[in-house]
Structure 1
Amino acid sequence: MPLPFLTADRAFDTTDHAALPFDDHDQWRRPYRPGSWRVGAAALALLLASFILLAAVVVAFAGAFGGACVTLGLAVLVIAAALRMLRMGAWVSRAGVRRVGFFSTVTVPWAKVTSVRTTQQPVRWLGFPRTVQGQALALDRRGGEQLLLLTTHNADFLSRIEAFDRAADSVEAWNAEYGTAPAATR
């Protein structure tokens, strides 16, 4: 059975390891696959939502339509949270780089990026307050602000150091192509 949502990721499985493997660079793309921790947490949330929806049907058949609406609303919130969890991460396009968080999204145009580099520093483990020593892909903006795009200990790259290296190289290649290059070479 074909899985069309995986077709965009096939470009990263080629042997030529092209840094910018897509034809349409205007579309926002994630330069890596979501990690197993992120996908697993979203799958568990969707499983929970299915049980909540089943409970809403049972409550509706029992005649408590107000309770069924509240339960249905809770299921919709859990589904929305699972989908947002899957959207989290770093996205790139010709327009810039975007870091999508659970509650906020930060978009930085390539013109405002001064550097993209991998640093060794304390990073949060799976987004929890506990920090561990790891690597982070840091984006420096004009004005001295720094934005962490990826870390080796987030839900996408925990126990996947090679995938982190490939994703960091890909974001750095997008920056080299559209960010710091002179206007004549673009």
Structure 2
Amino acid sequence: MPLPFLTADRAFDADAEDIALPFDDHDSWRRPYRPGPWRVAAAATLLLLASFVLLAGVIITVTGSLSGASVCFVLAGAAIVSALRLLRVGAWVSRHGVRRVAFLRTTTIAWSDASVVRTVQQPVRWLGFPRTVQGQALIVVRRGSETPMPLLTDHNADFLARAEAFERATDTVEAWSDEYRTG
């Protein structure tokens, strides 16, 4: 069974390290990096919890309490949807622009609306928690706006303790920006 979210780094194998825009279809949205171990572990934990809740729902259904079973099935469904959404969180690029997918919200910026895409040193949130640490962030600034929107940080769930992957991802997003923002 193909898992497309795990094939994002396929162009960065040993034989294709110099390819900046590795995908043939530039119209579809792609994440230019693999989900990090923290994100995958959190999603796996949610799916494990959902399996236990589903098992509890089946046991409750067999005992005859349909209202309790329906609550269990709804909770398990919410956990599964949350795990899948957690795996989609990140920065996505295409010929049309850059998309920042958060857990509850998605923001898309067309390349023509982006004035700057660069990596900066700034305080960043550690694993998405309110605590901030000094780190690097890939930011995009819209034309006519002064406030930068961070796309990636080196302390989020995808890049914590993976500096090389962060550099490769930021270089790839900047290459997409250079290709489509000016052209």
Please report the TM-score for the alignment, with normalisation by the length of structure 1: 0.93
Q: Tell me the percent identity.
A: 64
- Aligned position for 2:170: 168
Distance 1:92 1:39 in 2: 21
8 Å Cα contact 2:90/2:100 also seen in 1: yes
What is the aligned partner in structure 2 of residue 4 from structure 1? Answer: 2
Q: What displacement does 1:143 show?
A: 2.0
1:104 is matched with 105
Higher mean displacement: 143-152 or 94-103 = 143-152
Q: 2:80 aligns to what?
A: 79
SS of alignment partner, residue 51 of structure 2 = helix
Q: Is the 8 A contact 2:8 2:32 kept in 1?
A: no
- 1:42-121 pair list within 5 angstroms: 42-121=43-122
Letter in 1 for 2:13: D
In structure 2, relative to structure 1, the CA distance for the partners of 1:14 and 1:177 (3 Å cut) is farther
Instruction: Trace 1:117-132 onto structure 2 (pairs within 5 A).
Output: 117-132=118-133
Question: Equivalent residue of 1:4, what SS?
Answer: coil
Unmatched 5+ stretches in structure 2: none
Distance in 2 of aligned mates of 1:58 and 1:175: 53
- Residue 146 of structure 1: how far off its partner (Å): 1.5
Structure 1 position 8, deviation (Å): 4.5
> Is there any run of 5+ residues in structure 1 with no aligned partner, and where?
none
Letter of the 1:23 counterpart: D
**Aligned-CA RMSD value:** 1.1
Deviation for aligned residue 1:14: 4.2
Letter aligned with residue 16 of structure 2 = D
Tell me which stretches of 4 or more aligned residues in structure 1 moved more than 6 Å: none
The alpha-carbon distance between structure 1 residues 34 and 7, as it changes in their structure 2 partners (threshold 3 A), is closer
TM-score by length of 2: 0.95
AA at the equivalent of 2:50: A
Give the total of aligned pairs: 179
